[in-house]
Amino acid sequence: MNIYRIIKGIIYFTITILLVYLITLVFSLYFGNRIITGKEGKIGLINVEGVIISSKSFIKQLERFSDDDSVKAIVIRIDSGGGGVAPSQEMYEAVINFKKETKKKVVVSFGNIAASGGYYVACAADKIVSNPGTITGSISVIMRIPNLQSLFKKLGYEEQIVKSGKFKDIGSISRAMTKEERAILEDMMLDVHEQFIEAISRSRNIDLEYIREIADGRIFSGRQAKELNLVDNLGTMEDAIDLAGKLAGISGKPKVLSEKKKLSFFEFAKDFFEQSSYLNPFGSEPIKLQYRLF
């Protein structure tokens, strides 16, 4: 097949994905957050949606609810297949610190998907409520490094590398990976994977060996996760809100406060380019450790 037809097909495919993404983002910005009114007590609602790239917005919302004495508990709604290792860990630690400093309860509600990094964040909560059909699990680490050596040869492109260390260009997209390089990366991934397992064991009080047996990247339905003790209850977001209210000692229907996103061109462009940069395997940082589904 002609190489230019392949490139043309990739371009068309990419444009289609971007259009779908833009439409999804607009609907998310307009309709993604909800405010539920009630009579007594307040529950703070934080939404974690899409690929986890940054922890900044999440932590700011936690801080805002931490300073609000009228907010008695937090519900974190997760609809994410995970993302970066570092932001997932930062969000997890932020929830742990929030509970220690405020003594407020945290309940997580699972949406369509709450896997890998999304599940990592959830483990920090006091309780996890999942829909029976939620996709969850994927307790693992993944790294994608494209090898464009054959394509570069066809295009007549060649890289000249000057380096001071043997492994300085580890993960180069212009050549195949060596056995030594693969061993180094796999060793690093095993350590990051172990950190995930330890966080689950510590937060949910589950034996390490038990977690290791199921932490091989497999996914579960919410109902299967309940049987494996990875979640606490089966139910909807409303059930999670009611549970948070009970844990906080709120009588009656709690009032739920959530940050309403404002649609601006600047924020829209910023989110778009951040997502595109992170998901692009050919970017300036080809080595990306991810707690991410698929």
- Contact in structure between 225 and 231 (CB atoms under 8 Å): yes
Q: What distance in Å separates the CA atoms of residue 46 and residue 35, rounded to the nearest whole number?
A: 11
Which position among 8, 56, 168, 270 bears the catalytic label? 168
Compute CA distances 36 → 42, 105, 252, 268, whole Å. Answer: 10, 19, 13, 26
Q: Enumerate residues 6+ apart whose C-beta is below 8 A from 49.
A: 28, 32, 79, 80
Q: What distance in Å separates the CA atoms of residue 240 and residue 249, rounded to the nearest whole number?
A: 14
Q: What distance in Å separates the CA atoms of residue 163 and residue 167, rounded to the nearest whole number?
A: 9
Q: What distance in Å separates the CA atoms of residue 200 and residue 212, rounded to the nearest whole number?
A: 10
Q: Enumerate residues 6+ apart whose C-beta is below 8 A from 160.
A: none
Q: 3-class DSSP state for residue 243?
A: helix
Active-site annotation holds for 28: no
Active-site annotation holds for 168: yes
State whether the Cα torsion 255-56-59-188 is positive or negative. positive
Pairing of strands 127-130, 82-84: unpaired
In the block, residue with structure tokens 């990592």: 120
User: CB under 8 Å, gap of 24 or more: what pairs does 57-66 form?
Assistant: 58/91, 58/94, 59/90, 59/91, 59/94, 61/259, 62/94, 62/95, 62/98, 64/259, 65/104, 65/257, 66/98, 66/101, 66/102, 66/104
Which position among 55, 80, 116, 172 bears the catalytic label? 116
Catalytic positions, please?
116, 168
